Amino acid sequence: MQRANHSTVTQFILAGFSAFPHLQLMLFLLFLLMYLFTLLGNLLIMAAIWSERSLHTPMYLFLCTLSVSEILYTVAIIPRMLADLLSTQRSIAFLACASQMFFSFSFGFTHSFLLTVMGYDRYVAICHPLRYNVLMSPRGCTCLVGCSWAGGSVMGMVVTSAIFHLTFCGPNEIHHFACHVPPLLKLACGDDVLVVAKGVGLVCITALLGCFLLILLSYAFIVATILKIPSAEGQNKAFSTCASHLTVVVVHYGFASVIYLKPKGPQSLEGDTLMGITYTVLTPFLSPIIFSLRNKELKVAMKKTFFSKFYPEKNVMI
């Protein structure tokens, strides 16, 4: 990031939702409620897994780690976005912008890597149940989680270093509510902007596509194994352990594909902003809902945890 010192721009202006001046208060209240629900949902999932000993298994360890990455991802972006909705001063320092990009990409890619690990966990549980305790040992699970976090950090550093290695000569208004790559590239000057843009896009798409293909491969083996189970009840029971993860994968990669695979061409501020909401606010909001509703064991544990906190005098039997 040495060349950042040669940029004439020392701070950026986040345009945010300036295209919707009459809706900003309503958007603030809506996004605040969704953000608080996202935090509460993920914290409740973590508390339930922590307090319920029957959930101290690799699958729920990964889910707990996924909740942590989701909380950190939203913290990196949403509080700043909410503050800007109520402010007329939307400037962000050069270093703060770089930091936001690093943390958002790090936690975002960590989330993708953890979803891939969870797919592998379901593959081992269904296709190789007798070897599950060996393949998913505490040491192995710790290694998978550590690699996911390390991989996310590497991705964040690569993308952030590439973008902020460029020179920014002005103007300095980012047509987005966060320090996002495409609007920042539009502000950069120099002969290497196109090369960096293609390189960053290739790295991001390769990582996401690689994760998605590994998940698809896991589920191809899972489906083949489930179809061999003779009873319909056994098939439903096996598939129910994958339902919440598979639904979150579809939502996560569905919205990611809208961002990374959208047709090239001139984009309006309104279009970019609204598309940004899907993966910044909506996906984290939906994730705890999906896991809590589609996973019976987790749903029961969350009810126990909730009632034990607010009604400790009652022995709730669920």
Q: Residue 92 belongs to what domain range?
A: 2-310
Token pair recorded at residue 251: 């939502």
DSSP count for the chain of H helices, then E strands: 11, 5
**Residue 23 within any structural domain of the chain:** yes
Q: Is residue 61 situated within a structural domain?
A: yes
Give 144-156 pLDDT, tens digit per residue: 999 999 999 999 9
CATH code, 135 = 1.20.1070.10
Structural domain contains residue 298: yes
Chain centre to alpha carbon of residue 55 = 23
Res. 1 pLDDT band, cuts 50 70 90: very low
pLDDT of residue 5: 47
User: Cα separation of 37 and 48, whole Å?
Assistant: 16
pLDDT at 276 over 50: yes
pLDDT of residue 175: 86
**Is 318 domain-assigned?**
no
Q: In what order do the strands lie in the sheet with 91-93?
A: 91-93, 11-14, 173-174
Calculate the alpha carbon distances from 68 to 64, 126, 207, 288 in Å. Answer: 6, 26, 21, 11
Phi/psi at 173 (5° precision): -90, 120
- Does some domain include residue 317? no
Q: Which has the higher per-residue pLDDT, 266 or 293?
A: 293
Q: Is residue 316 part of a domain?
A: no
Highest mean pLDDT among 141-145, 274-278, 288-292: 141-145
**217 located within any domain:** yes
| Burial of residue 267 (number of CB atoms within 10 Å: 0-12, 13-18, 19+) | middle
Q: Residue 52: what are its φ and ψ, rounded to 5°?
A: -100, 110
The pLDDT assigned to 234 comes to 81
Q: Is the pLDDT of residue 318 over 60?
A: no
pLDDT tens-digit readout, 15-53: 888 777 788 899 999 999 999 999 999 998 998 888 888
| Global pTM exceeds 0.75 | yes
Contacts of 271 (CB under 8 A, 6+ apart): none
Nearest to 76 by CA among 315, 284, 251: 284
Provide the number of structural domains found in the chain. 1
Task: Please identify which residue in the block is written with the tokens 């990409």.
Answer: 105
Task: Please give the DSSP secondary-structure letter assigned to residue 191.
Answer: T
